[in-house]
Amino acid sequence: MLSMGLETVRGRWSGFAGAFVTLCLGVALISMTALVHVSASPHVPDRYAGAGVLVRTPVVEQVEGFFLEDRPWSPETVAELTGRLRAIPGVAAAVPDRSFYAQAVAAGRPVPADLRGYGWASTALAPYEPVAGRAPQRPGEVVLDRDLGLSPGSPVTLLTAAGPAPYTVTGTLDAPGFHVTDAEAARLSGGVRVIGLVTEAGADLAQIERAAREIVGGRGEVLSGDARSALEPRSDERIRWIGTQVLTGMTVLAGFASIFVVASTFAFGVVQRRREFGLLRLVGATPRQVRRMVYGEALAVGSVAAVAGVALGTALAPVLGDLLVEAGFEPPGFSVRIEAWPLAASFAAGLVVALLAVWSASRRAGRARPLEALREASVERRTMTPSRWIAGAAFTATGIACAVATAGAEPGAAVNLTLYAAMALIVGLTLLAPAIIPPVVRVVTWPLSRTRGATGVLVREGMLAAVRRTAATTAPVLVTVGFATLVTGMTQTTAAAVATDRTTAVRADAVVLPDGTPGLSDAAVAAADGIALLPTTVYAEGLPPLEASGITSETLTRAADRLRVVEGALETAEKGDDRPAETAGADEGGEHGTTDEDGEHEAVGEGGEHEATGESGKREAAGGGGVIVARWLADERGWRPGTRLPLTFEDGRSETLPVTAVVADAPTPILLSRDTVRSHDPSALTPEILVDGAVRDEVIGVRDEVIGGRVLDPGAYARQARTEDDRLVWIFTLILAGMAVGYTGLSIANTMVMSTVDRASDFRVLRMSGATPRQVLGTVTAESVIVAGLGAALGVVVALPALLGMGSAMTRQIGAPVELVIPWPIVLAVVGGCLVLAVTAAAIPTLAAVRRTR
């Protein structure tokens, strides 16, 4: 029977064309995404290409979707490890890698190019060769990228977290970034997370790696060779993660659409071929043999389509990779490489999709009875079986339950539940369509039946007599409009919720935003004199890295009503307050720094010398004060006011600070005094400043000391945020909606062609009864319009519960009403496209059939 299935496909190829095209495109998409996934592996950063062995801090497990830096070593640990690693035979240098924010300023504007500064010693970790000049030797000297066009001896202004500062160029490199003295890099940077080992010529890397592991033990991880790619920037890792979400959504949607379209094609074909199956049963074929024949047909179509899809996907994968880079879903420099196993897996996936899609159709074909199939008239006497009722009701109930659950779900789960709800409702209403269609058709066609002429009656009775045919042609329109409404509604409602959240959060007369920089410096914050949080990362035992923010006492007082205190009192003592704070400078090995007579913690540098920062020549480890904790974190960890928290900061030092309050609406899990954050994180930047009172554009962005900021009113701020988000939102929308409409559009055309070709005998009878070609064409056109309208209405019905549930979830999340945004022009355009496609796909074969009956 498998060979008979192959012969059937060969003889009825036109009936399988839609399934072939759909599977081909599905496999092409799967192969493209598989190649992109394989190619999206990290690579060794250029900055570390010259170091054969790298040592990094232990990797900390993080919450999905967050890409915070791992916990840094303490200065004491850095000094100890550097000294011991340098003593390994064959190691020429052990270099702690330090980086900080730095950006060149030209003509009073930040230059949108390099954004990082490094210590000069870090150049030994990469194969950089000086182009001109010399290395920096004193504070205020810098070596920079020659692409900036500055020559040795030129002055340059560098914008750092503190503000703009004058430097002198002593040399240029063919490399990105700004390189200053190691002492200055230590002053401007946070903690050390990587120590690079520069090896001597001919050194045994394996032996050096083993010796390094013995020295480091559990305090870090030793990497060599390709394993060094684990040190790719967190920003690239985040971009790659976003791209993975997009590709996953594309693949899931493609798989669902492929199975749905192929299943509907084969199911409709089985209904059309019931007499054929009855004849096979009559001549002795068993139900199992009939099922095998249908599987053989699917296997034949799937094999050819999978081969074509793999070839198409291989050709288009580089194009997809370039598009993802352009859209910001893959990091710059990403390229697709062709490998065999993803293509083989894609081919196998195509066959699996084809076989899964015909499972239900094969069972129906196997149940055909010989005499019943031969006697069956065109009028369908049983359109809904008990199993179809049960399955349709179950899927519909599941979809409604998911939509209801969405309203109380967390943001990440709400998106998934929305998709599950829509998919379940699509399947459920498709299964129940034969029961829904008759009463709807009677209502819709009632005006036609009252008009003069036979066309209205023919449309009404023809659709009611062939309910399964009507349901089969309605289903692809339902899926097309449903997915278009769902995807566009989800993305636009999400964008509206983000804008609403931003607008609600801004209770100020103006907002100061970065202008050409990743954040605002302390100089800009001082000039604006507003509410400004200073973000950083803190580390507590047993927890992933936590986002934290520094806030001044004055800002805390002004923002008291927004935080909503649950327990305790709002206070984070700043430097100079009398509140004591325990300071622990111990690292994991139990070593401590030194404390002077005034109780200030000194920073121990690489060679044991103190790092000079500030007027006193010392960096304070303790900014003093307490900790304000978000309620969800306090409840999770059992923290209450008075609890003393040992926290490790960005510079690797630790402090034990008391919890002073638990709040309901903290912008980050932990709030600290701004001085505490700044003392531990010299490179942190302020993302925005909320300003009360009139602030003019001349104040920010013109004066030299406040370079890199601009002022917007709250409305403009929200609009800008939405504009920036909308670019990615619309790209994502167009990708998913375009795929959904493309896939199901094929199904609409294929199903309409199949149903119209199968009615050639009906058209012949109509012509012999005196109907004109125009009347026959009018009947088919009217049926197509009704089918498209009915499918469109059901598609909107499918999407609305899921979207309403998601809107409720977002309203609960941000604490403000979220408007349900459905871009009706796009939805109506999709409906119009379905209508044109359905009418065209039905009219062309109808005209051909009518001409043959003349």
Q: In the chain, where are the structural domains located? A: 1-42+232-376, 51-58+84-225, 434-506+716-854, 510-590+620-715
Residues in contact with 329: Cβ distance below 8 Å, sequence separation at least 6, in sequence order = 239, 242, 243, 246, 731
User: For the chain, which residues score pLDDT lower than 50?
Assistant: 1-2, 376-379, 573-624, 696-705
The dihedral built from the CA positions of residue 128, 132, 134 and 139, taken in this order, carries a sign that is negative
330-338 contacts, C-beta under 8 A, 24 or more apart: 330/36, 330/40, 330/239, 330/240, 330/243, 331/235, 331/236, 331/239, 331/240, 334/39, 334/40, 335/39, 336/35, 336/36, 336/39, 337/35, 337/38, 337/39, 338/35, 338/314
Query: What type of residue is 691?
Result: V
Q: CA dist 423 to 61, 180, 242, 430, Å?
A: 33, 57, 23, 11
Q: Which residue has the tokens 């990469």?
A: 126
> What is residue 676's predicted lDDT score, i.e. its pLDDT?
93
> What is residue 721's predicted lDDT score, i.e. its pLDDT?
57
Helices (H), 217-233: none
Count of residues making up the chain? 854
In this prediction the pTM is 0.68
User: Is residue 88 exposed (0-12), middle (13-18) or buried (19+ Cβ within 10 Å)?
Assistant: buried
> What is residue 292's predicted lDDT score, i.e. its pLDDT?
84
> What is residue 84's predicted lDDT score, i.e. its pLDDT?
95
Q: Tell me the per-residue pLDDT of 631-665, one tens digit each, with 9 for 90 and over.
A: 999 998 999 999 999 999 999 999 999 999 999 88
d(CA 11, CA 654): 77
The dihedral built from the CA positions of residue 631, 635, 637 and 638, taken in this order, carries a sign that is positive
d(CA 189, CA 650): 9
> What is residue 727's predicted lDDT score, i.e. its pLDDT?
60
Q: What is the per-residue burial (b if ≥16 Cβ within 10 Å, else e) of 265-304?
A: bbbbbbbbbbebbbebbeeebebeebbbbbbbbbbbbbbb
d(CA 563, CA 162): 28
d(CA 357, CA 371): 28
Our CA dihedral for 728, 732, 733, 739, rounded to 10 degrees, sits at 160
DSSP conformational letter for 230: G
> What is residue 696's predicted lDDT score, i.e. its pLDDT?
46
d(CA 836, CA 825): 16
